[in-house]
A and B are shown apart, each in its own frame.
Chain A
Amino acid sequence: MINSLQLHLAKVFLKIFLRNRQAILFSLFFPLLFIGAFSFSGGERDPFLIGISDGSKSQFSSDFIQALEREELFTILEGSFEELQASLEEGEIEGFVVIPENFKDISDLGVLKFYVDASQTRQVTIIKQALNNSLVSVERNIRNLSPLFSLEIEDVKARNQRYIDFLLPGLLAFMIMNLSIAGSGFNIVEYRRRGILKRLFVTPIKPKDFIVSIVLARMLIVLTQLSVVLSIALLLLDVNIVGSYFSFYLVVILGTFIFLCIGFALGSLAKTQEGIRPIVGLFTFPQVILSGVFFPISSMPEIVQPIVYSLPLSSVVASLREIANDGSSFFLFSNPTIGVLLWVIIAFVISTRFFIWKEVAK
């Protein structure tokens, strides 16, 4: 399938890349900067600071508070309703629980109220879950039941929902997009400007050989860069990829292929070096904002969601995320995976349509 010319050319492209130290450093700089920032802030699992206003001072409420204190996720701060409300508004605590006065009467325990800052919705789900867990364990004490299910599972789940776990697959997909488009698109335009493509075109090389060799070389480069960033994240941030690495890398490879092809198309569209930047910007910038790299697409207005879900970066992000966070497999062919496969076809078709040797070589 891959001939010796393609292999030789791919080796040449790799050699060119490896001799350009600056490009190597720059391509790793931003992702590592991101990860560095997270290793200082989000990396150490800071427990949530939760306030408790205990209105009942009963056996149940102290059991409940003890149960919460055992929960690794929380640091507990007791105080009056007014104090806690002030702290919450100041942003000093993540939320507080108000235990009602009648939290001693087994026939009518009343309702626990949890006050939060609505802008912190993601954390609220995690906290709510943990609060429920603690309530369940108190309830088991009261009813004298031993737990049917181990609490450990809940612990793991809570850990997986840290923001960095959510962010990392998105960040990697973002990196794949940028490196691939730069690798094909910017290179094409640069080679054309300098007349290198024209020089190649007077030799009997077929466009296919040229494309295959660039794709091969760039694929290897992107995979290496990505693996460096991923291993640093795994070591430093204690991130966990729940699904198989095989599935994960399969999506990475397909994602790289998608954006390399799109890069070829954009590079063929842009006639000049000045032209390529806005075109690439127009393509990448909305996707970075919309494709769920930094926050989930489901938090966007419903009307735009179908469009957003169909973007190529969204498919890659969602696919990587479900493998990394939820332990899904590529071979379950979920919607995001099918999206990735569809984009592989679309990207390949548009790249071969736009990358016309005669036109591009001029």
Chain B
Amino acid sequence: MDILKVIDLEKSYIDPDTKDHFKAVDGISFEIKANQIYGILGPNGAGKTTTLEMIEGLTDIDGGFAYVKGINVAEKPFEVKEIIGVQLQSNEYFDSLSLKELLILFGKLYENDVDVAELLNSVNLIDKINAKPEELSGGQKQRFSIACALVNKPDVLFLDEPTTGLDPQAKHNLWKLIRHLNQLGMSIVLTTHNMEEAENLCHKVAIMDKGKIITEGSPNDLIAKFDSDNTEKGNLENVFLHLTGRDLRD
């Protein structure tokens, strides 16, 4: 069964400068099988975050449909919120609360009693149980925000650029955690513009540009298809640049 199904999803905004409508997400469709890690790749402004926000119920859907485990997001957003876990790009929390207090609070939002120790163990932060988020390093902060997204034992986990700004050690550590969660049976959707990350983690990727999905497939298939002329072993980065062009994006 598809754990996530998106059909002709659309979102338009009004450009504050030109007052023109533009489509941030322009009729995209994809589906994700249970237990997959699915990567949405794209340059800045491609519409990756907007796509996630529509599926998460954060942003209204202008056109098309999104179903999580068969539940229509637009019709039953609160039912969807119960079964998904979300990590946002910005990770700030209420002041002066410890990790323990924050996890208990997040648990309450789902009417769950959280096993804080187990949760912090799973993200390797048990020794920081009484620390405040602002005292954590970048990698620790990301792991903590994943812990927050796990309080409801979600079926699907959404990660928005989880490794942006992390050093290589922290990045690899986080990949390990994501793989581990996937092995436990969780479906994971992540956005990234790190090709290495997509190649390493994802079973399937979609490359997005200007609100559209321009190609979709497993990293190996895409490399074989678009970067086969390369004498050395091809990589996803070349595929990406080939498809989205080398122009600078803002």
Contact = CB atoms under 8 A, between A and B. Distances in A.
B106 A203 contact: yes
A199 B110 contact: no
A195 B90 contact: yes
Closest 8 CB pairs of A and B: A195-B90, A194-B92, A19-B96, A203-B109, A202-B86, A204-B81, A205-B109, A8-B108
A86 interface: no
Contact of A196 (B56, B78, B93): B93
17 contacts: A5-B108, A5-B111, A9-B105, A9-B108, A16-B94, A191-B94, A195-B92, A196-B93, A196-B94, A199-B88, A201-B58, A202-B58, A202-B81, A202-B84, A203-B81, A203-B106, A203-B109
A20 B95 contact: yes
Contacts of B105: 8-9, 12
B78 A20 contact: no
A358 B58 contact: yes
Interface in B160-216: none
Interface residues of B, number: 29
Contact of A198 (B81, B90, B96, B148): B90
Interface of B: 56-60, 78, 81-82, 84, 86, 88-97, 101, 105-106, 108-111, 148, 152
Nearest to B82: A204
A205 B56 CA distance: 14
Interface of A: 4-5, 8-9, 12, 15-16, 19-20, 191, 194-196, 198-206, 358, 361
B94 A202 contact: no
A198 B88 contact: yes
B92 A202 contact: no
B78 A204 contact: yes
A21 to B, nearest CB: 10
Contacts of A191: 94
A195 B60 contact: no
A361 B58 contact: yes
Contacts of B97: 12, 15-16
Given A8-B105, A16-B97, A199-B148, 7 more contacts: A5-B109, A5-B111, A15-B96, A16-B94, A201-B58, A204-B81, A361-B58
A84 to B, nearest CB: 63
Nearest to B86: A202
Nearest to A203: B109
A12 B101 contact: yes
